[in-house]
């Protein structure tokens, strides 16, 4: 029987899909890390509380500290949004690579089905030939169409 002509392409598409799947997993991990950073920085800001009153230098230092914490939270939120966009892009790339691989897989399945049908036809023809030869041997003459001698 013949070899599937697109087997090389099927392997390449499978590798591409696997790579896309890995990239999707990495994007999900980056998003989780970005979310954890937002939570950690927000918790630090919440724990710091309001700026305490007191001498001007202490008040200004505490206000600057809170301002830096707010900026860190804002940066973490921006990084999380970028990670979310990267995740969506990775998901789209994986879906595209999966569709391309699946198209070739369907062709390979059809090829296997055709090969199995061809083997079944060949087996049936061989079985018919053997049955005809046995019949001819039993009846002492050549087998004719319809099994009549």
Specify the higher pLDDT residue, 135 or 87.
Answer: 87
Structure tokens at 70: 């707010």
Report the pLDDT value the prediction gives residue 146, as an integer from 0 to 100.
Answer: 53
Distance CA 49, CA 71 (A): 15
Its domain, for residue 15, covers 8-110
Report the pLDDT value the prediction gives residue 54, as an integer from 0 to 100.
Answer: 86
Number of domains in the chain: 1
pLDDT digits (tens, 9 = 90+) for 11-38: 899 999 999 999 999 999 999 999 999 9
Q: What angle do CA 19, 98, 101 make, to 5 degrees?
A: 95
Task: Indicate whether 18 belongs to any domain.
Answer: yes
Report the pLDDT value the prediction gives residue 136, as an integer from 0 to 100.
Answer: 86
CB neighbour class for 83 (10 Å; exposed up to 12, middle 13-18, buried from 19)? buried
Tokens 């690579």 correspond to 97
Task: Indicate whether 115 belongs to any domain.
Answer: no
Task: Indicate whether 64 belongs to any domain.
Answer: yes
pLDDT digits (tens, 9 = 90+) for 98-147: 999 999 889 889 989 999 999 999 999 999 999 888 888 888 766 555 55
Q: Is the pLDDT of residue 149 over 50?
A: no
Task: Indicate whether 134 belongs to any domain.
Answer: no
Task: Indicate whether 143 belongs to any domain.
Answer: no
Task: Indicate whether 123 belongs to any domain.
Answer: no
Structure tokens at 19: 């790579």
Task: Indicate whether 91 belongs to any domain.
Answer: yes
At 1, the pLDDT band (50, 70, 90 cuts) reads low
pLDDT digits (tens, 9 = 90+) for 32-75: 999 999 999 999 999 988 888 889 998 899 899 999 999 999 99
Task: Indicate whether 24 belongs to any domain.
Answer: yes
pLDDT digits (tens, 9 = 90+) for 112-121: 999 999 999 9
């Amino acid at each position: 029987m013949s070899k599937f002509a697109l087997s090389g392409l099927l392997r390449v598409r499978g590798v591409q899909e696997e790579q896309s799947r890995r990239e999707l997993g990495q994007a999900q991990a980056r998003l989780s890390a970005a979310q954890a950073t937002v939570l950690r920085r927000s918790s630090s800001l919440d724990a710091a509380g309001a700026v305490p009153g007191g001498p001007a230098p202490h008040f200004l230092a505490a206000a600057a500290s809170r301002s830096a914490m707010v900026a860190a939270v804002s940066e973490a939120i921006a990084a999380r949004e970028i990670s979310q966009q990267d995740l969506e892009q990775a998901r789209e790339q994986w879906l595209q690579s999966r569709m391309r691989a699946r198209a070739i897989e369907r062709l390979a399945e059809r090829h296997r089905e055709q090969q199995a049908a061809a083997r079944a036809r060949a087996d049936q023809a061989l079985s018919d030939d053997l049955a005809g030869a046995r019949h001819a041997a039993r009846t002492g003459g050549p087998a004719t169409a319809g099994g009549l001698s």
